[in-house]
Structure 1
Amino acid sequence: MAIDQDMEACENKLQGKITEPLLQNGANGTSKSTKEDLWMVYFSTFVAVCGAFEFGSCIGFSSPTQAAITEDLDLSIAEYALFGSILTFGAMIGAITSGVIADSIGRKGAMRVSDAFCVAGWLAIYFAKGPVSLDIGRLSMGYGMGVFSYVVPVFISEIAPKNLRGGLTTANQLLICSGVSLSFIIGTVLSWRTLALTGLIPCFILLLGLFFIPESPRWLEKRGRHEEFVAALQKLRGKDADISKEAAEIKEYIETLENLPKAKMVDLFQRRYLRSLIIAVGLMLFQQLGGITGVSFYVSEVFVTAGFPAAVGTVSYACLQIIITILCAILMDKAGRRFLLLVSAAGLVIGCILVGTSFYLKVQESAPTVAPLLAVIGMMVYIGSFSAGMGVTPWVIMSEIFPINVKGTAGSLSTLVNWIGAWAVSYAFNFLMSWSSYGTFFIFAAINVIAILFVAKLVPETKGRTLEQIQAAINTA
């Protein structure tokens, strides 16, 4: 009880006294830096989001290549299902270890480690002669992807000024979608081995760019490397910028954090955090159990099964995903998180029903001209709806509903749950489709109906609220 009281006291002190340090950069959020002075922030973000693009490339590889790999290497459905899903298993391991790596060797060091695993994975796949090499390569890529999923948004949030943070952080999700979409598109014209080689391009750009950008100032100060901290912050804000106020705020913020009791996983199950935990874990589960990982990994085969040209369907799917993700980023702070989630989940239900109906008509050999059209409309509704809310919003809400002292632990648990759900869906998807193509999508529709009820009942609106207001809304609901 005494520990709990100490933690709550420190937590209240932190919330009431200090705001996010790297976000408080003068009245306009830029430490009197001009946009021209912030070129290093933009360049550093570009380098970091190469990791996000690589993340997307890893996800998108399995969809356009399924038929070719299965034929060339004579793989069974079970062998290809393992190949597709083992990526998420590697990502689980990467996500679990990412925080330790990033805190031990820095954000740049963590990105280098992740980059090395992805390069090794792509090469193993390129030279693969059988399922073992394929799986080892895919597992290695998954590990790198799991580390990228943590360190890239953390690095961007720690270098960005307040007035740029939202847009620059959104670039992470946009580049993930772009990586997935580009893999879908070029995978329709390239062989699977050549497509594996293209996955090396963002790795090399990232590796080269890391030599020219500074380390996260916040991490440097946390490690006691004060001179390097000042130099990095000055480089990011511009050589003529006055960084004294921001530097002092960062130092005070880190000192206060260091005085907080170290949160453990069991602390999340205390009454004052339990509702936040249910919301975060619930959103992560519904995001994955609604079918997105299975659809993304095997979208080409979904179109083939429905009798629609895979190349046309996949390219349309990829382009729509990017467009809707951009629109979602614009609407996030205008329409609100809760509204986007409800609209998104409703759209997912409609999309699943349309695709399921298409498969049912095909099985019954009814309306042969209508079934493929229903499939492609349903898939477009599905991916558009997912990109409009369920794709990004759960991560945003997760970052907002926990107090700062447990945010890292809560984020690790929520991310792990997300990857477990991704693995389960990606592994089971092909087996479910073999069992019943239309039944699979009707199951996904039912899960998304439950998601609507979950959001309507438990998820608060966090748009425009302070951390204290969000906590009050959650604890009094």
Structure 2
Amino acid sequence: MSFRDDNTEDGLRKPLLHTGSWYRMSSRQSSMMGSSAQILRESISIYLCVLIVALGPIQFGFTCGYSNPTQSEITRDLRLTISEFSIFGSLANVGAMIGAIASGQISEYIGRKGTLMIASIPNIIGWLAVSFATDVSFLYMGRLLEGFGVGIISYVVPVYIAEISPKNMRGVLGSINQLSVTVGIMLVYLLGLFVSWRVLAVIGMLPCMVLIPGLFFIPESPRWLAKNGLNEDFETSLQVLRGFDTDISSEVNEIKKSVRSSTKKATIRFSELKIRRYYYPLLVGIGLLALQQLSGVNGVLFYSSNIFKSAGISSSKAATFGIGAIQVIVTGISASLVDKAGRRLLLIVSSSVMTASSLLVAMSFFLKEFTSENWHSFFAVLSLVGLVALVMAFGVGLGSIPWIIMSEILPVSIKSLGGSVATLANWFSAWIVTMTANLLLTWSKGGTFAIYALVSAFTVVFVKLWVPETKGKTLEEIQQSFR
């Protein structure tokens, strides 16, 4: 079957794939009508695929946010200490680290869709274990299983989105990954206001239960198919994604050329990581995903109800839901900007505002200790403003863009290993933050946010010095730039 355009002297002729018939129109009419129709068809197909796989990040967000509205109920019902609940909260990250290690290899062997199906099963079992828990053993086991599934999802979804997206839409579509995470967090905060922790755990199964059948209706990643030599399936998948009357010959050739060059070097030795085109993107991916978590945002999202109580805010659960809602809105705005403003600018703005916000929260807690009670309400408002600004700034850049860049810059020959290592670094950093947040806040609330401010300030420097701009480039062009 041919996908090429056939130019004739009196107009443009294109094959209609299913009928084999021909139509004629002027070149001018074809370019005007064809381009807008093509964009519409391409957008519908791509967005449908992204919306289905976005159920995975919703599950991700639901898992991350679950410990926030349920802390007081679970500790009371199961008689847990603060340390035991901190372990429960952080075990999702431990499970995610195990999932991250396996994610790259699994997705290379069975494909992106098959990997998402596998990741959904432990998630469902984990939520069931939590909902029926009568002691810490079932609680911990369920949390580990949830984390394992989420660790795989956190790697595979951004990679799948990057591999199916055209270059002019990759930024906005990649941002849907983080937008879905924030939707999951907001939902768990909202539902936590009305239902018990056991019912909330049952609701947590729903995204993956819908995701599994949904995956049967979307195509596999064309780049994964091409890499595995499934050329007929590769072209069919790409044609479905781009629209049945779209000429894909140029993109097919570009992907095949990239795959051929990577196949010649399918595996690399450890010593070859010294080569710039390998170590540079790997360090950028690991650095961004580690700094994303070390900025302390998970400490805020996991335990904000208790932070608000400490600050003197009475309706702490409502304030927590407000933060979740704000994060969704800001991440949605960021999604519309990422392909216009660029990745680097948004990361710098995001990290800079996070630095200032963390300092504001730290200052409000420090000053509250040395002032009379008359000033406590003022500093409570000040800390609330700082926390809201912190979450908003995170949503603008540092929340979504590290995942987008990781999925864009890693060379094909080290993508499975490098992506797993970068995802592992993210979850290990998240585990450090969630495990220590409650303990640090007990030690010094102002000191905790001062530490987070230092990390955010370092992130600004890291982005300015080492992170490349990938806006408007194909994945193949990005790989070529590292050579």
Query: Aligning the two structures, in what range does the TM-score lie when normalised by the shorter sequence?
Result: 0.7 to 0.9
**More divergent stretch after superposition (354-363 vs 192-201):** 354-363
Quick check: 1:355 aligned with 2:334? Answer: no
| Alignment partner of 1:173 out of 178, 182, 192 | 178
Q: Mark the CA change 1:47 to 1:474 in structure 2 (over 3 Å): closer, same or farther.
A: closer
Quick check: 1:384 aligned with 2:392? Answer: yes
Q: Which residue of 1 aligns with 2:457?
A: 449
Q: Structure 2: how far apart are the matches of 1:238 and 1:340? A: 32
- Kindly indicate whether the alpha-carbon contact (under 8 Å) linking 2:277 and 2:482 is maintained by their aligned counterparts in 1: no
Aligned sequence identity (%): 43
- Kindly indicate whether the alpha-carbon contact (under 8 Å) linking 2:308 and 2:384 is maintained by their aligned counterparts in 1: yes
Q: Structure 2: how far apart are the matches of 1:317 and 1:109? A: 34
Amino acid at match of 2:439: F
**More divergent stretch after superposition (213-222 vs 464-473):** 464-473
| Alignment partner of 1:424 out of 423, 427, 432 | 432
- Kindly indicate whether the alpha-carbon contact (under 8 Å) linking 1:30 and 1:161 is maintained by their aligned counterparts in 2: no
Quick check: 1:314 aligned with 2:320? Answer: yes
Q: Structure 2: how far apart are the matches of 1:299 and 1:227? A: 51
- Kindly indicate whether the alpha-carbon contact (under 8 Å) linking 1:47 and 1:210 is maintained by their aligned counterparts in 2: yes
Q: Structure 1: how far apart are the matches of 2:392 and 2:182? A: 12
Q: Which residue of 2 aligns with 1:23?
A: none
**More divergent stretch after superposition (261-270 vs 82-91):** 261-270
CA shift at 1:105, angstroms? 1.9
List aligned pairs for 1:273-312, cutoff 5 A.
273-308=278-313, 309-312=315-318
CA shift at 1:135, angstroms? 1.0
Q: Deviations over 1:271-315 (max 9, x none)?
A: 565454444333333222211121111111111121112123112
Amino acid at match of 1:117: P
**More divergent stretch after superposition (126-135 vs 328-337):** 328-337
Q: Deviations over 1:413-464 (max 9, x none)?
A: 2222121111111101111111112211122122223333333444455545
Q: Mark the CA change 1:181 to 1:28 in structure 2 (over 3 Å): closer, same or farther.
A: farther
CA shift at 1:376, angstroms? 1.0
CA shift at 1:253, angstroms? 3.5
Q: Which residue of 2 aligns with 1:140?
A: 145
**More divergent stretch after superposition (185-194 vs 153-162):** 153-162
Q: Which residue of 1 aligns with 2:90?
A: 85
Quick check: 1:152 aligned with 2:162? Answer: no
Amino acid at match of 2:459: A
**More divergent stretch after superposition (244-253 vs 173-182):** 244-253
CA shift at 1:228, angstroms? 3.9
Q: Structure 1: how far apart are the matches of 2:292 and 2:468? A: 17
Quick check: 1:326 aligned with 2:332? Answer: yes
CA shift at 1:201, angstroms? 1.5
Give the TM-score normalised by structure 1: 0.85
| Alignment partner of 2:215 out of 206, 210, 215 | 210
CA shift at 1:324, angstroms? 1.3
Q: Deviations over 1:368-415 (max 9, x none)?
A: 221221121011011011111222233334445555544444333222
- Kindly indicate whether the alpha-carbon contact (under 8 Å) linking 2:88 and 2:139 is maintained by their aligned counterparts in 1: yes
- Kindly indicate whether the alpha-carbon contact (under 8 Å) linking 2:52 and 2:211 is maintained by their aligned counterparts in 1: yes
| Alignment partner of 1:335 out of 308, 323, 341 | 341
Q: Which residue of 2 aligns with 1:413?
A: 421
Amino acid at match of 2:141: I
Aligned residue pairs, count:
450
Q: Which residue of 1 aligns with 2:5?
A: none
Q: Mark the CA change 1:30 to 1:299 in structure 2 (over 3 Å): closer, same or farther.
A: farther
Q: Which residue of 1 aligns with 2:25?
A: none
Q: Which residue of 2 aligns with 1:345?
A: 351
CA shift at 1:207, angstroms? 1.3
Q: Structure 1: how far apart are the matches of 2:242 and 2:40? A: 9
**More divergent stretch after superposition (380-389 vs 437-446):** 437-446
| Local SS of the residue matching 2:362 | helix
**More divergent stretch after superposition (112-121 vs 327-336):** 327-336
**Contiguous gaps of at least 5 residues in structure 1:** 1-25
Aligned-residue CA RMSD in angstroms? 3.1
Larger radius of gyration: 2
Amino acid at match of 2:327: Q
Q: Structure 2: how far apart are the matches of 1:35 and 1:235? A: 13
Q: Mark the CA change 1:471 to 1:50 in structure 2 (over 3 Å): closer, same or farther.
A: closer
Amino acid at match of 1:214: P
